[in-house]
Amino acid sequence: QVQLVESGGGLVQAGGSLRLSCAASGIIFSTNTAGWYRRAPGNERELVARITSDRRTNYVDSVKGRFTISRDNAKNTVYLQMNSLKPEDTAVYYCYGNVVGTTYWGQGTQVTVSS
């Protein structure tokens, strides 16, 4: 059974930082693509960042230079370091992992950035 468990969300002031974690069981992050989506109220779901099995990374333009995605193979965990947070980063952040065409999702973690 696949399970992705996110943690690290919360309330932070603009300019602050948070680190999201996504711990997986039932899938191996190091051999698959994983990443983070977010959904803000009234908006469509948006791919924020992803990391491939060979550690290539991609980011949505709005977070480039501020967010960093990484992976710890020993812990089977993917991280999203978020710096210089802005109110427009407020959203529910969802971790995902792709395994042979199937996408698995975490439960989501709320990130709120106050101005």
User: Tell me: the pLDDT tens digits for 64-98?
Assistant: 999 999 999 999 999 999 999 999 999 999 999 99
Alpha-carbon distance of 10 to 4, in angstroms, equals: 18
75: amino acid identity, one letter: K
Confidence band (pLDDT; 50, 70, 90) for 30? confident
Closest CA to 36 of 96, 101, 109: 96
Q: Which two tokens stand for residue 35?
A: 């990443």
